[in-house]
Amino acid sequence: MIDWPNVTASSYEELVLKPEELQRSKCVLGFIPVIYYSVLLCVGVPVNILTAVALCRLACRTKKPLYYYLLAVTGSDILSQLFIIFVGFLLETAVFHRDVPTVLLHVVSAAEFAANHASIWSTIPLTVDRYVALCHPLLHRQISYPARARKIIAAVLVLSLTSGIPFFWWSDVWRDSHLPTVLDAVLIWTHVTIIYFLPCSIFLVLNSLIIRKLRIRQRQQPCQEERGPPRRLGKTTAMLLALTSVFSVLWAPRTVVVIYHLYVSSVHQDWRVHLAYDLSNMLAMLNTAVNFFLYCFVSRPFRSVVRDIVLLRGGPLHPRRPLPQQQAPNNASNSSLYSGNNKRSRRDSTPLSPRRNRKPS
């Protein structure tokens, strides 16, 4: 995350470098990472802000916990783009060439890891919510509501931000020439467990149970009319599967390269590992900017709200209700009908008068 590509040193600095520093692996990609991250930042931040505004409207309109969880994922992606791409790479590396106080480097490192963990772990409550909704619908109606969703999101964000504190001591694999220490090994394994192995295990188990439940429902509902609700739920499930699948694919290369750096060859010495690490970081950061396109592809309500925002049309924040002018005639007709029924029932229920009861003589 904070270990970005090396930058070209000045001629004076090359003269005073130590022999082991002269063996540092070269950055094969040159300025390509700078251009890539600049474009990713200029595209990703506005797109994520647009996503956040659209999800806010949907959350206020529908009061569904689903949109609160997606909003948490989007907010965490924005934090990752600001801390990792803007501060960690463009400012520290590309602009200042990491010529900043060491304490500041470590503080930024902890902030980058915290934002990264929040971006990934914000998807876990969404997956659990979808699992409970499909596999235990009655329980989902009791435990899933916006207030609880906000509490869960707050707890996940606090734990994720706290988990970034130990990475204050993360080593700069681009510049540290020594072999990985025991502390480096502990931090690397903690990192890959938090950002990949543990989340992917949860995604795999819960998504497998969701797919199994949907298949059972389809077999039990042969009628086309009864298959309507499962298809509606399937769109949300498709969005969840797309999010988790894209994350698993984009973060897998970086996880492999980090473990390879720990046990086989160092990024500092092998230019091939250096190149693989650059490319894997670029793929991993792409995950912070693709969710908008997944939402647009899967969700029709999201596309509609985005269209309203782009066209500067203020959509309703709450479900549509009939206007008072429309309610008045309906209420009048209902009241007249109700009063007519009351009169008729009152007339039918009143006893006959003595005149009507008297028999004709």
Q: What is the CATH number of the domain that holds 256?
A: 1.20.1070.10
* CA gap 287, 284 in Å, rounded: 6
On the question of pLDDT at 102 being above 90, the answer is no
Res 60: pLDDT: 93
The total of structural domains in the chain comes to 1
Res 25: pLDDT: 60
Kindly report the number of other CB atoms within 10 A of residue 341's CB atom: 10
In a domain, 361, yes or no: no
* Closest by CA position to 295, among listed 40, 58, 15: 58
* CA gap 134, 210 in Å, rounded: 7
* CA gap 171, 191 in Å, rounded: 13
* CA gap 83, 161 in Å, rounded: 13
| Residue 250 domain boundaries | 31-172+181-218+232-311
Identify whether the C-beta of residue 77 lies closer than 8 Å to the C-beta of residue 46.
Answer: no
Band the pLDDT of 230: cuts 50, 70, 90: very low
- Compute the mean pLDDT over every residue in the chain, rounded to the nearest whole number: 79
In a domain, 339, yes or no: no
Identify whether the C-beta of residue 29 lies closer than 8 Å to the C-beta of residue 278.
Answer: yes
Q: Report, as an integer, the average pLDDT of 219-224.
A: 66
Q: Could you give the percent of the chain with pLDDT greater than 90?
A: 48
Q: Report, as an integer, the average pLDDT of 107-128.
A: 92
- Residue keyed to tokens 């959509």: 315
296, with CB counted inside 10 A (0-12, 13-18, 19+), is: middle
In a domain, 62, yes or no: yes
Q: Report, as an integer, the average pLDDT of 175-199.
A: 87
Identify whether the C-beta of residue 53 lies closer than 8 Å to the C-beta of residue 71.
Answer: no
Res 351: pLDDT: 46
Structure tokens at 309: 């925002």
In a domain, 159, yes or no: yes
* CA gap 307, 299 in Å, rounded: 13
In a domain, 148, yes or no: yes
